[in-house]
């Protein structure tokens, strides 16, 4: 039983253009919000993974059930997901799944978290779907067809604005990575009167770039399930995504910058 009706009309999309991957998009629209609503009816259990990372019964339930639904429609497809398929390789027709991005926020009753999925085919991410349960927001993008929020086309911001926001993701993660670029970005923000926001969920923050809230985002997070859904969404919204060397970002690069436009990109590239 479908518990949720998507804001996006598939009939409208089909009538507008002959887009690929509409069947895959429809499956996500009909399944993901319904699965999340089912988790709301269950007792939430919390456990811990390596480095004290939180995982909940909701994460496990959503990922398990979503994979079952996908296999029913696409039995030969592949999976790369945070909980049960994190060591698989990407190949044609691979679903990249992060059942809850921002699990710590979710556990601590902070409503900044998303369910996010990307679809990888023919060597690239071709479909993104990000659901923000507490805000009833559904983001999606299909390669070459633009980025959408609840069925309405969205675009990145213009950085020529007196009140601007920047997102930094990963500065507090305790790893062996060099954190110097975070400090460079903090200094740049201070020198240019840009306000910093750290929301604790890369998927949510990349939707904010695509929607026009943030003019720039920097992260050293590299997990495909964290990166892939927002990567296509930002690019389809008109954003520029580069690595630390100023080249087009490729999943697996150690640093990622999302810029809303050429103007802010040129300013920041100078300090890298």
Please state the domain extents for the chain: 10-154, 164-269
pLDDT per residue rounded down to tens, the chain (272 residues):
333 444 455 545 544 556 799 999 999 999 999 999 999 998 889 988 776 788 999 999 999 999 999 999 999 999 999 999 999 999 999 999 999 999 999 999 999 999 999 999 999 999 999 999 999 999 999 999 999 999 999 999 999 888 899 999 987 766 667 788 999 999 999 999 999 999 999 999 999 999 999 999 999 999 999 999 999 999 999 999 999 999 999 999 999 999 999 999 999 988 77
Beta strand extents in the chain (DSSP E only) = 46-48, 54-56, 78-81, 94-101, 114-121, 124-132, 137-142, 147-149, 152-154, 164-169, 194-197, 216-219, 240-242, 256-259
Please report the pLDDT score of residue 209 as a whole number: 98
DSSP-H helix ranges across 84-143: 103-107
What is the C-alpha separation between 150 and 136, in angstroms, rounded?
9
Asked if residue 10 lies in contact with residue 28, where contact means CB atoms within 8 angstroms, the answer is no
Contacts for 178 with CB less than 8 Å, ≥ 6 apart: none
Assigned token pair, 144 = 């070459």
Asked if residue 106 lies in contact with residue 113, where contact means CB atoms within 8 angstroms, the answer is yes
Please report the pLDDT score of residue 18 as a whole number: 65
Looking at the chain, how many residues does it have? Answer: 272
What is the C-alpha separation between 22 and 127, in angstroms, rounded?
9
Q: Which CATH number fits domain 164-269: 3.40.190.80, 3.40.50.1820, 3.40.50.980, 3.40.50.300?
A: 3.40.190.80
10-154, which class in CATH?
A: alpha beta
Residue 48 pairs in a beta bridge with 54
Kind and range of the H or E element at 30? helix 22-39
Please report the pLDDT score of residue 160 as a whole number: 87
pTM (predicted TM-score): 0.91
Please report the pLDDT score of residue 3 as a whole number: 39
What is the C-alpha separation between 102 and 4, in angstroms, rounded?
22
DSSP symbol at 149: E
Contacts for 170 with CB less than 8 Å, ≥ 6 apart: 182, 219, 220, 221
């Amino acid at each position: 039983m479908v518990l949720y009706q998507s804001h996006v009309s598939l009939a409208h999309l089909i009538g507008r253009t002959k887009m690929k991957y509409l069947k895959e998009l429809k499956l996500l629209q009909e399944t993901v919000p319904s699965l999340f609503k089912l988790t709301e009816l269950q007792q939430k259990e919390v456990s811990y993974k390596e480095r004290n990372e939180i995982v909940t019964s909701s994460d496990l339930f959503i990922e398990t059930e979503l994979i079952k639904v996908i296999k029913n429609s696409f039995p030969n497809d592949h999976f790369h997901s945070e909980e049960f398929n994190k060591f698989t390789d990407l190949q044609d027709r691979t679903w990249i799944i992060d059942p809850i991005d921002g699990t710590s926020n979710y556990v601590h009753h902070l409503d900044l978290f998303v369910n996010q999925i990307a679809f990888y085919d023919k060597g690239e991410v071709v479909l993104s779907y990000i659901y923000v349960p507490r805000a009833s927001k559904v983001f999606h993008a299909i390669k070459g067809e633009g980025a959408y929020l609840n069925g309405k086309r969205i675009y990145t911001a213009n950085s020529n604005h007196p009140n601007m926001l920047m997102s930094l993701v990963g500065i507090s993660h305790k790893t062996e990575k060099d954190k110097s670029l975070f400090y460079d970005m903090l200094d740049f923000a201070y020198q240019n009167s840009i306000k910093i926001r750290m929301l604790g969920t890369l998927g949510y923050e990349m939707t904010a770039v695509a929607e026009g809230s943030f003019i720039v985002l920097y992260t050293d997070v590299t997990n495909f399930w964290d990166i892939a859904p927002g990567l296509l969404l930002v690019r389809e919204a008109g954003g520029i995504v580069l690595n630390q060397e100023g080249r087009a970002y490729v999943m697996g690069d150690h640093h990622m910058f999302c810029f809303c436009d050429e103007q802010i990109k040129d300013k920041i590239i100078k300090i890298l």
